[in-house]
């Protein structure tokens, strides 16, 4: 498989994991800005991803990042009306984004179901792919949560999105986790990022982490296919790490 092999960092609990990932994110974004002038970050939904954003909102070190020069994208979205509390973008705004001096032109949530494409999720996914294609440079950091079924973004085991080899964004219908209709980056898009960080805390993630890190087929364990070009980091807590081999 292409990409950097995973490195696993185990933290004491979910709270420490969120604080440590937030601190790491500040450093990664500030380093990217020092090297290239701006930084590009892909956000995830889910409880661990949103916990990292909340930890960042509470960390004075966040001021080390020039937020006006950060491009924000999303790895997946629940296809719901704008402002719906279940949208990943709504949760990210409430946890962190509303309190940051971002450049609104550089914040690119995935389309909502009451947006310009209406309920046409395929058109919405295509439009997001076009936005991505028009943007220069690689993602610096791409965050992913881990589902108990090994899903990442909205790429679920057995659904066609996980086998996509060409498109960077796909519509998802029939998601086993509600809501059923979603938009997701694909594995080729995820693998284009310099750094991919998978966040997993809680005993319900233990089997998924062990399966994905054992070299499973991404078609049946999507998280196994999530790698960065320069770095793949699994940031987990002790309970999520409990089924991993000791070494
Ligand atoms: O629905 C989603 O779930 C995954 C995992 O969420 P978690 O709450 O089990 O950690 C998340 O990564 C994804 O962005 C989200 O849309």
The mean per-residue pLDDT over the stretch 111-128 comes to: 98
pLDDT digits (tens, 9 = 90+) for 204-230: 999 999 999 999 999 999 999 999 999
The predicted pLDDT at position 247 comes to 65
Query: Is the full-model pTM beyond 0.90?
Result: yes
How far is Cα 140 from Cα 193, in angstroms, rounded to an integer?
Answer: 6
Q: Is the pLDDT of residue 9 over 80?
A: yes
The pLDDT assigned to 1 comes to 80
Question: Measured between alpha carbons, how far is 34 from 56 in angstroms, rounded to an integer?
Answer: 20
CATH number, domain with residue 104: 3.40.50.1360
Q: Quick check: bond before 70 cis, omega within 30?
A: no
Question: Could you tell me what percent of the chain has a pLDDT over 70?
Answer: 100
pLDDT at residue 166 in the model: 97
Q: Which of 147, 157, 200, 239 to mutate to test the pocket of ligand 1 (most atoms within 8 A of CB)?
A: 147
Q: For 139-161, how does the pLDDT look when each residue is reduced to its tens digit (9 = 90+)? A: 999 999 999 999 999 999 999 99
Residue 1 lies in a domain: no
Q: Is residue 36 part of a domain?
A: yes
The count of domains in the chain is 1
Using the predicted structure, report yes or no on whether residue 120 has a pLDDT greater than 80: yes
Task: Give the integer Cα–Cα distance in Å for 220 and 209.
Answer: 13
221 located within any domain: yes
- The residue whose C-alpha atom lies closest to atom 9 belonging to ligand 1 is 147
What pLDDT was estimated at residue 169? 98
Which residue has the least CA distance to atom 10 on ligand 1?
46
User: Other CB atoms closer than 10 Å to residue 24's CB: what's the count?
Assistant: 17
Asked if residue 121 belongs to a domain, the reply is yes
244, part of any domain = no
* Mean pLDDT along residues 119-125: 98
Domain that holds residue 106: 6-237
Probe target for ligand 1 pocket from 21, 76, 143, with the most ligand atoms within 8 Å of CB: 76
Q: State how beta strands 76-78 and 182-185 pair.
A: antiparallel
Atom of ligand 1 nearest to the CA of 152: 12
The predicted-structure confidence for 56-67, as pLDDT tens digits, reads as follows 999 999 999 999
Whether 247 is in a domain gets the answer no
The answer as to whether 87 is a domain residue is yes
Pocket of ligand 1 (CB under 6 A): 44-49, 76, 78, 88, 144-145, 147, 153-154, 177
User: Do the beta carbons of residue 132 and residue 138 sit within 8 Å?
Assistant: no
pLDDT tens digits, one per residue of 164-203: 999 999 999 999 999 999 999 999 999 999 999 999 999 9
Bridge pairing between strands 141-145 and 195-200: parallel
Residue 245 in domain: no
């Amino acid at each position: 498989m292409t990409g950097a092999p995973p490195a696993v960092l185990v933290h004491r609990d979910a709270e420490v994991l969120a604080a440590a990932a937030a601190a790491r994110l500040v450093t990664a974004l500030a380093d990217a800005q020092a090297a290239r002038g701006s930084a590009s970050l892909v956000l995830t939904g889910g409880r661990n991803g949103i916990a990292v954003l909340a930890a960042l909102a509470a960390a004075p070190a966040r001021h080390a990042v020039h937020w006006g020069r950060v491009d924000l994208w999303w790895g997946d979205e629940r296809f719901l009306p704008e402002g719906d509390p279940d949208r990943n973008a709504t949760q990210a705004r409430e946890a962190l984004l509303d309190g940051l001096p971002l450049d609104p032109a550089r914040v690119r949530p995935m389309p909502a179901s009451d947006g310009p494409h209406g309920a046409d999720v395929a058109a919405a996914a295509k439009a997001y792919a076009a936005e991505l294609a028009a943007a220069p440079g690689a993602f610096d950091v791409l965050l992913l949560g881990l589902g108990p079924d090994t899903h990442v973004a909205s790429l679920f085991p057995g659904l066609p999105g996980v086998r996509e080899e060409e498109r960077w964004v796909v519509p998802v219908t029939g998601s086993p986790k509600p809501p059923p209709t979603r938009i997701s980056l694909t594995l080729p898009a995820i693998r284009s990022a310099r750094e991919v960080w998978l966040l997993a805390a809680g005993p319900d993630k233990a089997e998924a982490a062990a399966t994905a890190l054992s070299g499973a087929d991404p078609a049946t364990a999507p998280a196994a296919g999530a790698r960065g070009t320069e770095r793949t980091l699994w940031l987990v807590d002790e309970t999520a790490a409990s089924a991993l081999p000791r070494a």
